[in-house]
Amino acid sequence: MSACIYTSCTKILQYITTSLKHTKIYCKRAVDTIYTHRITLGLISNLAPEVLTYFCRLTPNPSISPSTTMNSTTFQPPNLAPPRTSPANATNGSGSPSHRHLSATDEERTTTGHRRNKSSVDGTKYKDGTWSPKNDKILMGPYDYVHEQPGKDIRRQLIHAFNSWLQVPPTSLAIITKVVTMLHTSSLLIDDVEDNSVLRRGNPVAHNIFGTAQTINSANYVYFLALQEVQQLNNPTAINIYVQEMLNLHRGQGMDLFWRDSLTCPTEDEYLEMVGNKTGGLFRLAVKLMQAESTTGKDCVALVNVMGLIFQICDDYLNLANTVYTENKGFCEDLTEGKFSFPIIHSIRSDPSNLVLINILKQNTKDVEVKRYAVQYMKSTGSFAHTSRVVGDLRDQALGLIETIDATPNINGAGDGQMVRAIVEKIVESTLSDPNTH
């Protein structure tokens, strides 16, 4: 053993020995501490056996005696297993049964001799249904904070519009609407954490008010509350739809985060697949649940897939070019986040040898002038115009699908797609009319 270790241990022993002279209680606490630090005790037994002999005299223990301490080179610590609290399987700490039944307020003696109160936690006080509204309000705090801030409410409008075709019973429709609202709001909480966002709907993000951990827990909690709501439909198909689309949503989000964090620019096709999972997943979940409760025979899944793409690509465009979006969420937040959105992907791939834009993404910049330069660069590569053309093509595709659905026989009072058509036109309006696209 080196002189350094010897000196350090000797100083520790001198301090312990001095402290022991004052009170036996300190002795016992010191023994407890040393018993749990086996390596330290092994060193002490070699350097100063007389001190350990003193400990053993104060607190007898069959595992340690003065003779074995002084004569053995390897210290054998006592059994540190705590006494079992179960009356049926109680032990005395050394593995042998203890036949004494302890009440919740009884004292018991540990292997080192000190007294402690037996824990009253035995699991019998928990009962289903005892969760209080007060506690629930605490968990729901971050969710309620965002839910109370009005958004575009596009998903509720879509459900109402698609119901012209599907004619879902009012009770089921109310449940589906509630579920989609819960999932959407919860996903915003998670998105803001994962994106390090500052604003949501013009207000500070929830995790900057309630904390990141509580915000994540609140969002996850609501995911399961939403599942409880789905169970009220009493439709096994509905549960399968919920699980599958929640998986799709997280798959899409996972790829989006991977590209951002690894600075990997995806292809447009890869990006559209991701959007189909992430954004389209929630749209699809709503419509599939409605179809599971409908008897009209209309199939709207292909249409809602296209509408999910339209919604996300327009959102990408507005993040970089629209002043209203700037006021609500921050100027070009996708650049600060380092996100590969649709216009950014096109701009980078239009000239792979030019590393300007990808380096700006790498910086996660908040500098307004750098962001303005990035926007001008994307204009120069024709990325906004390209985005507008893609949105126009998707709109035409959506309108064609609406006509196809309208042309199918109307069963059980199914109406037409006039409201769905109006929503599609509303979503694309800002993107197609923006001067940046020309």
- The string of DSSP letters for 138-198 reads HHTHHHHHHHTS----HHHHHHHHHHHHH---HHHHHHHHHHHHHHHHHHHHHHHHHTT-S
Confidence check: pLDDT of 37 > 50: no
Cα–Cα dist 339/122, whole Å: 50
Confidence check: pLDDT of 97 > 50: no
What was the pLDDT predicted at 157? Answer: 93
Cα–Cα dist 183/179, whole Å: 6
Helix (H, G, I), strand (E, B) or coil at 61: strand
b/e map 283-310, b = 16+ CB within 10 Å: bbbbbbbbbbbbebebebeebbbbbbbb
Cα–Cα dist 64/53, whole Å: 9
What was the pLDDT predicted at 177? Answer: 97
Confidence check: pLDDT of 29 > 90: no
User: CB 146: neighbour CB atoms within 10 A?
Assistant: 22
Domain boundaries, the chain: 3-71, 134-437
Q: Kindly state the average pLDDT of the residues 314-335.
A: 79
What was the pLDDT predicted at 374? Answer: 96
Task: Among 118-122, 295-299, 333-337, 375-379, name the one with the lowest average pLDDT.
Answer: 118-122
Identity of the amino acid at 308: G
Check if the beta carbon of residue 83 is closer than 8 Å to that of residue 90. Answer: yes
Check if the beta carbon of residue 196 is closer than 8 Å to that of residue 209. Answer: no
Task: Among 5-19, 79-93, 419-433, name the one with the lowest average pLDDT.
Answer: 79-93
pLDDT digits (tens, 9 = 90+) for 358-367: 999 999 999 9
Task: Among 91-105, 161-175, 373-387, name the one with the lowest average pLDDT.
Answer: 91-105
Distance of CA 163 to the CA centre of its chain: 32
What was the pLDDT predicted at 66? Answer: 44
Cα–Cα dist 341/318, whole Å: 11
- Fold (CATH) for 134-437: Farnesyl Diphosphate Synthase (1.10.600)
| Paired tokens of 97 | 């049964």
Burial of 13 by CB count in 10 Å (0-12 exposed, 13-18 middle, 19+ buried)? middle
Percent of the chain with pLDDT over 90: 59
Of residues 58 and 243, more confidence is placed in 243
Cα–Cα dist 209/197, whole Å: 12
Helix (H, G, I), strand (E, B) or coil at 107: strand
Cα–Cα dist 241/160, whole Å: 20
Q: Look over the chain and give the mean of its residue pLDDT values, rounded to a whole number.
A: 80
Cα–Cα dist 385/378, whole Å: 10
pLDDT digits (tens, 9 = 90+) for 175-208: 999 999 999 999 999 999 998 888 898 899 999 9
What was the pLDDT predicted at 430? Answer: 82
Q: Kindly state the average pLDDT of the residues 241-264.
A: 97
Cα–Cα dist 250/219, whole Å: 13
**Structure confidence at residue 40 as a pLDDT band (50, 70, 90):** very low
pLDDT digits (tens, 9 = 90+) for 333-365: 899 999 999 999 999 999 999 999 999 999 999
* Phi-psi domain of 281 (left: phi exceeds 0; alpha: psi -120 through 50; beta: other): alpha
Cα–Cα dist 432/102, whole Å: 76
pLDDT digits (tens, 9 = 90+) for 72-86: 445 455 454 444 444
Confidence check: pLDDT of 69 > 50: no
Cα–Cα dist 45/226, whole Å: 61
Confidence check: pLDDT of 92 > 80: no
